[in-house]
């Protein structure tokens, strides 16, 4: 469903020159699966997901979503995905109903079908009480619900959640996680990025641990546990990251010695 | 582009803005409330604005003749002043102490005439007036008596001239200035009456002093007068408000959305970037037009109301403030569409670049500063719509609008074509710019970085390319323009050829050569390639010289055409004459050619066909690069006529530069072109008549001034164009033959400046 190959993204930074946000990562995510991207802040999770949602263009490498290339068929890709991120807010001066309807129309859904879907989604997410509430008057949890419904309105085969629970209280977060599970059970391909271990452990069928723009390890949680002989995901994560940091430091040292 | 998506985005943004209190306030509430409030305030203030009487001090009133009396019982004679003005003048007669002052002034007057220190007297009088609290002083030093006896040269009394009255005022104080004006008018009437009376006493017809009566009449019809008043104000108000009205929604729709995080939501929807850009542009345009119209309506109605309450004429100017003619409103609404489109696109592009609403606000002032002079043009009385002014963006449209409102259809509609073409081109470019900004990742996701000059310089050095970047080309153009502007203050008019030569070389080196070479060394990785310091083949070099000779008639005719379309101003003739006089002191024709042809050819080619053309070439296709570089070449020549001509020459030079990949042929072309101009203006008739070739090519009507004959000129142009075709077919296939030698020097310099790693 999602095939990422040697995806690279470089930015020019005034201070450091070329900055590599993604250093050639590869992974595959399948339908009916939740694929987790686990990594500390700045690991490159958001950049990966932005490329998959066609908001950014990769410097090198390819990414194919449901058979469409993110660079060559950007518009088709956007129709295949629902993108929920901390950076995709909802409009303050629009009600929940207007917001979802607007995006449904942008996806080109016929109005009667759109309204049918909206009724069922609003019912399912128990949002009928906030139908006519403006975005500015909603709580963070409500906003996130509207975002999720907005992303699901066109029934996309792929859903991308980028740190979808950040800033939510425990009740709202649980609800979001429940939704993500439901979506997977409907046979969708879900990409879920987070830096919270428990979420990933609970939800994800497969996990890629990312650090400094690279994938350090990838597999099911069981596979990873077996491979690194560590049952606790948090401990495993910490080991991988420290090993990677040491390696980078050693590389830096070698570089420094040789240049001198 | 899918129009349903554009429509969807447009309606959403429109509704969104309508729900925003700030936007609604700026667009609708402010104009509807602000002007009536201002009008009310004005009416209120007007009630309190009573004019207080001016205190006039009359020193030496006993010297005034009894008939006709100027002052009756301490007040000015009603025959010489309107009752309204008389109420505003309070006359104070001199008392005993004033007699002393009277002497003092006379003493000082006489003294100042000898010592030429009138300031001392002025100060004394001013302090004396201030101590008495008077605004105006009238001083009659001697009894006024008009001499009536026949003129006699030998009589001593008759040589002294007429008696005088002094009027002291302080022009720095309005009260004093206005009071003095009233007194002056009254004195004028009184003087006339005095002369009439004296003439009558001497049996001369009193009407003699009226002389020839001059009668004036205003033949403008009422509609024309109405239109004239509105034609100057209307376009200006419309422009200002359409820019302001575009700016705030633009910031909210781009920078504001970035801040609120809804921009990425929209970008990840199926709507294409161009659809988003156009949808937002239409929204901004609607608000721009609405702001303009609402402001105009509110201002107009308030203005009419206030004026009707204050008595029919606008304050100060005596402008007839009546409702504008319907036709002018129609033209205005029609012109509003392209104006709003242009300003909206510019505002949207600036707003898309901004990271936050706050940053967006910073861009408003520079935008206003740039567009303001263009908008002011139709307010100038001398501004006229002609072919030249019709090509200036915004100004051309304003002048056309002004002409249409004034009803000069036949004169104005001739230029409607160029005005519309320029305006549409500007709109197109601005919209393209907006779409480009929306497609650019670095603009949409611009991170906020800590800025430091050192960091920035290191960044520039690290990121510099083989060839100049677009930014460095613009920087060089600005440096050259600013340098020329400032050096204009420093230089003095040269007196002889030596000074002139020195000055020309210094200006060219300081403003063009030094910045160009420095920037090529610092801002590019390959200075040699950037300046096109490559060899060229012998055929290329010869072809360049030949092309310059063969195309000379065409350029001469082009120059005449430009001079016909844009007739040069008088000061340009004066300048030409000065330069001509200086050139006549030249030690020889070779010196003149060195100054006018050789030095400019080398230096200007380095900058324009070297650095600037290379910069444009690296990002545009070659034809666009040639046109852009030629525009810069033209602009730096300052004078309009010269700019247009050099633009034309620049096109040919750019073509040669790109096809030969070397500036050597360009230097040769430029040198030959300028040398021919010098030689043709200096050629003696005898030389021409004795040469078979020159006699065939050139013709004269007066035996002094020579120009190209029609047939030889056309033949030369055809040959010249075929040479250019040869250049076009070259495509850099020829092998280089000649060396410049400069590259080794530059390579050496670069090695020594490169930091060791």
**Distance from the B18 Cα atom to the nearest Cα atom in chain A, whole angstroms:** 9
Q: At a CB cut-off of 8 Å and minimum separation 6, what does B350 contact? A: B250, B360, B363, B367
Chain-chain contact of B268 with A78 (C-beta, under 8 angstroms):
yes
Which tokens hold the place of B717?
């142009």
More confident residue, B718 or B741: B718
Smallest Cβ distance to A89: which of B5, B261, B269? Answer: B261
Give residue B732's region: left, alpha or beta (phi > 0; psi -120 to 50). left
Burial group, residue B262, by CB count within 10 angstroms (0-12, 13-18, 19+): buried
* Three-state secondary-structure class, residue B42: helix
* Chain A touched by B570 (CB under 8 Å): no
Chain-chain contact of A75 with B269 (C-beta, under 8 angstroms):
no
Considering only B165-179, B449-463, B511-525, B680-694, which range has the smallest mean pLDDT?
Answer: B449-463
What's the average model confidence in pLDDT over B749-753?
Answer: 51
Tokens 């670069």 belong to: B750
pLDDT for the residue numbered B734: 43
* Chain A touched by B714 (CB under 8 Å): no
Could you tell me the pLDDT band of residue B756, with boundaries at 50, 70 and 90?
very low
Considering only A110-119, B118-127, B657-666, B741-750, which range has the smallest mean pLDDT?
Answer: B741-750
* Three-state secondary-structure class, residue A28: strand
pLDDT for the residue numbered B739: 42
Element (H, E) at B603: helix B599-604
**Distance from the B464 Cα atom to the nearest Cα atom in chain A, whole angstroms:** 11
pLDDT for the residue numbered A87: 82
**Angle B467-B471-B473 from CA coordinates, rounded to 5°:** 60
What's the average model confidence in pLDDT over B457-462?
Answer: 79
Could you tell me the pLDDT band of residue B259, with boundaries at 50, 70 and 90?
confident
Q: What percent of chain B has pLDDT over 90?
A: 16
Q: Is the pLDDT of residue B114 over 60?
A: no
Name the pairing type of β-strands A60-65 and A2-13. Answer: antiparallel
Q: How many Å apart are CA B353 and CA A21, to the nearest integer?
A: 23
Smallest Cβ distance to B16: which of A55, A93, A107? Answer: A93
Could you tell me the pLDDT band of residue B741, with boundaries at 50, 70 and 90?
very low
Q: Is the pLDDT of residue B86 over 60?
A: yes
pLDDT for the residue numbered A237: 85
Global pTM reads 0.71
Find, in chain B, the residue whose alpha carbon is nearest to that of A75: B270
Q: What percent of chain B has pLDDT over 70?
A: 86
Best probe of the A interface among B5, B22, B265, by most A CBs < 10 A, is B265
A-facing residues of B in 429-448 (CB < 8 A) are 441-442, 445
Considering only B420-424, B490-494, B541-545, B597-601, which range has the smallest mean pLDDT?
Answer: B490-494
B295-316 residue pLDDT tens: 888 888 887 777 777 654 444 4
Best probe of the B interface among A10, A14, A57, by most B CBs < 10 A, is A14
User: Do residues B484 and B507 touch, judged by C-beta distance below 8 A?
Assistant: yes
Question: How confident is the prediction for chain B on average, in pLDDT?
Answer: 81
Chain mean position to CA B386: 16
A168, A169, A172, A178 alpha-carbon torsion, rounded to 10°: 90
Q: Which residues sit opposite A208 in a β-bridge? A: A37, A218
Burial group, residue B744, by CB count within 10 angstroms (0-12, 13-18, 19+): exposed
Interchain CB contacts (distance < 8 Å): A and B: 75
Evaluate whether ipTM surpasses 0.85.
yes
Could you tell me the pLDDT band of residue B444, with boundaries at 50, 70 and 90?
confident
* Chain A touched by B149 (CB under 8 Å): no
Q: Is the pLDDT of residue A51 over 80?
A: yes
Q: Is the pLDDT of residue B753 over 70?
A: no
For the ranges B139-148, B199-208, B544-553, the maximum mean pLDDT occurs at B544-553
Which chain B residues touch A150 with a CB distance below 8 Å? 265
pLDDT for the residue numbered A172: 83
Q: How many Å apart are CA B535 and CA B532, to the nearest integer?
A: 9
Which tokens hold the place of B156?
């001593």
What's the average model confidence in pLDDT over B409-424?
Answer: 83
Q: How many CB atoms lie within 10 A of CB B719?
A: 14
More confident residue, A72 or B104: A72
Which tokens hold the place of B403?
């002409």
Chain mean position to CA B123: 41
User: Do residues A7 and A48 touch, judged by C-beta distance below 8 A?
Assistant: yes
Which chain B residues touch A106 with a CB distance below 8 Å? 5, 8-9, 269-271
Could you tell me the pLDDT band of residue B514, with boundaries at 50, 70 and 90?
very high
What's the average model confidence in pLDDT over A117-134?
Answer: 89
pLDDT for the residue numbered B118: 63
Chain-chain contact of A89 with B441 (C-beta, under 8 angstroms):
no
Could you tell me the pLDDT band of residue B157, with boundaries at 50, 70 and 90?
low
Could you tell me the pLDDT band of residue A100, with boundaries at 50, 70 and 90?
very high
Q: Is the pLDDT of residue B552 over 50?
A: yes
Chain-chain contact of B463 with A83 (C-beta, under 8 angstroms):
no
User: Do residues B480 and B606 touch, judged by C-beta distance below 8 A?
Assistant: no
């Amino acid at each position: 469903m999602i095939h990422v190959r040697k995806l690279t993204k470089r930015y020019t930074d005034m201070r450091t020159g070329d900055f590599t946000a993604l250093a050639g990562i590869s992974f595959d995510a399948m339908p009916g699966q939740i694929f987790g991207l686990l990594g500390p802040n700045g690991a490159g999770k958001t950049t990966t997901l932005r490329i998959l949602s066609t908001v950014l263009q990769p410097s090198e490498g390819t990414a194919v979503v449901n058979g469409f290339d993110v660079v060559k068929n950007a518009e088709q890709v956007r129709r295949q995905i629902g993108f929920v991120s901390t950076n995709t807010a909802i409009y303050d001066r629009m009600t929940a109903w207007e917001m979802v309807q607007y995006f449904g129309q942008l996806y080109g859904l016929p109005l009667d079908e759109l309204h049918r879907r909206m009724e069922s989604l609003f019912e399912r997410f128990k949002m009928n009480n906030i139908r006519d509430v403006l975005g500015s008057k909603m709580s963070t949890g409500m906003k996130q619900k509207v975002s999720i419904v907005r992303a699901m309105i066109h029934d996309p085969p792929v859903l991308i959640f980028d740190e979808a629970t950040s800033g939510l209280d425990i009740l709202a977060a649980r609800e979001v996680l429940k939704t993500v599970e439901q979506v997977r059970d409907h046979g969708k391909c879900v990409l879920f990025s987070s830096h919270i271990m428990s979420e990933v452990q609970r939800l994800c069928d497969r996990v890629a641990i990312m650090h400094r723009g690279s994938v350090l390890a990838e597999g099911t949680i069981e596979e990873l546990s077996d491979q690194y002989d560590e049952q606790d995901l948090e401990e495993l994560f910490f080991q991988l990251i420290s090993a990677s940091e040491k390696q980078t430091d050693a590389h830096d040292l070698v570089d420094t010695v040789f240049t001198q | 582009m899918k129009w349903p998506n554009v429509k969807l985005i447009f309606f959403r943004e429109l509704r969104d803005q309508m729900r925003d209190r700030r936007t609604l306030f700026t667009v609708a509430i402010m104009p509807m409330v602000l002007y009536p409030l201002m009008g009310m305030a004005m009416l209120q203030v007007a009630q309190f604005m009573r004019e207080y009487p001016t205190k006039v001090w009359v020193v030496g009133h006993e010297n005034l003749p009894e008939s006709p009396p100027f002052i009756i019982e301490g007040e000015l004679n009603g025959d010489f002043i309107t009752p309204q003005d008389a109420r505003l003048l309070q006359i104070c007669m001199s008392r005993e102490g004033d007699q002393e002052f009277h002497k003092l002034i006379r003493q000082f007057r006489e003294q100042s005439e000898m010592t030429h220190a009138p300031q001392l007297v002025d100060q004394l009088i001013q302090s004396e007036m201030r101590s008495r609290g008077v605004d105006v002083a009238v001083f009659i030093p001697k009894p006024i008596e008009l001499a009536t006896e026949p003129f006699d040269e030998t009589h001593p009394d008759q040589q002294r001239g007429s008696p005088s009255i002094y009027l002291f005022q302080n022009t720095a104080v309005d009260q004093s200035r206005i009071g003095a004006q009233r007194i002056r008018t009254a004195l004028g009437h009184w003087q006339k009456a005095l002369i009439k009376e004296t003439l009558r006493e001497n049996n001369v017809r009193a009407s003699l002093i009226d002389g020839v009566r001059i009668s004036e009449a205003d033949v403008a019809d009422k509609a024309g007068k109405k239109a004239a008043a509105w034609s100057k104000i209307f376009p200006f108000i419309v422009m200002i408000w359409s820019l302001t009205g575009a700016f705030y929604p633009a910031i909210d729709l781009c920078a504001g959305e970035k801040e609120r995080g809804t921009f990425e939501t929209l970008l990840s929807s199926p709507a294409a970037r161009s659809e988003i850009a156009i949808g937002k542009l239409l929204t901004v345009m609607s608000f721009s037009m609405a702001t303009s119209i609402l402001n105009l309506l509110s201002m107009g109605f308030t203005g009419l109301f206030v004026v009707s309450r204050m008595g029919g004429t606008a304050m100060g100017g005596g402008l007839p403030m009546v409702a504008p003619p319907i036709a002018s409103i129609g033209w205005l609404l029609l012109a509003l569409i392209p104006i709003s489109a242009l300003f909206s696109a510019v505002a949207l592009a600036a707003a898309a670049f901004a990271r936050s609403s706050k940053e967006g606000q910073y861009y408003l002032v520079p935008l206003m500063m740039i567009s303001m002079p263009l908008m002011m043009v139709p307010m100038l009385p001398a501004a006229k719509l002609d072919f030249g002014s019709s090509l200036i963006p915004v100004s051309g449209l304003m002048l056309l609008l002004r002409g249409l409102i004034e009803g000069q259809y036949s004169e104005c509609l001739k230029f409607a074509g160029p005005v519309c073409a320029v305006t549409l081109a500007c709109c197109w470019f601005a919209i393209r710019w907006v779409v480009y900004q929306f497609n650019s990742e670095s603009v949409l996701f611009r991170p906020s970085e800590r800025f430091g000059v050192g960091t920035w310089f290191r960044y520039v050095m690290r990121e510099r390319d083989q060839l100049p970047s677009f930014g460095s080309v613009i920087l060089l153009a600005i440096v050259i323009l600013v340098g020329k502007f400032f050096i204009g203050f420093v230089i003095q008019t040269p007196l002889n050829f030596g000074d002139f030569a020195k000055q020309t070389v210094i200006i060219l080196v300081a403003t063009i050569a030094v910045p160009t070479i420095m920037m090529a060394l610092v801002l590019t990785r390959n200075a040699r390639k950037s300046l096109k310091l490559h060899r060229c083949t012998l055929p290329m070099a010869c072809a360049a010289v030949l092309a310059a000779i063969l195309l000379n008639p065409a350029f001469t005719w082009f120059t005449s055409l430009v001079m016909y379309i844009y007739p040069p101003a008088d000061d340009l003739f004066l300048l030409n004459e000065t330069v001509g006089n200086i050139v006549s002191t030249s030690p020889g024709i070779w010196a003149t050619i060195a100054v006018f042809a050789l030095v400019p050819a080398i230096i200007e080619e380095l900058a324009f066909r070297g650095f600037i053309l290379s910069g444009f070439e690296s990002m545009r296709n070659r034809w666009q690069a040639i046109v852009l570089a030629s525009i810069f070449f033209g602009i730096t020549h300052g004078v309009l006529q010269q700019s247009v001509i050099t633009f034309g020459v620049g096109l040919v030079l750019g073509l040669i530069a790109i096809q030969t990949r070397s500036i050597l042929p360009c230097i040769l072309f430029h040198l030959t072109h300028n040398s021919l101009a010098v030689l043709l203006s200096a050629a003696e008739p005898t030389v021409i008549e004795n040469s078979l070739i020159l006699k065939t090519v050139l013709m004269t009507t007066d035996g002094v001034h020579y120009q190209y004959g029609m047939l030889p000129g056309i033949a030369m142009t055809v040959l010249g164009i075929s040479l250019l075709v040869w250049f076009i077919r070259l495509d850099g296939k020829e092998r280089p033959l000649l060396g410049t030698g400069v590259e080794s020097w530059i390579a050496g310099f670069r090695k020594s400046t490169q930091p060791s790693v």
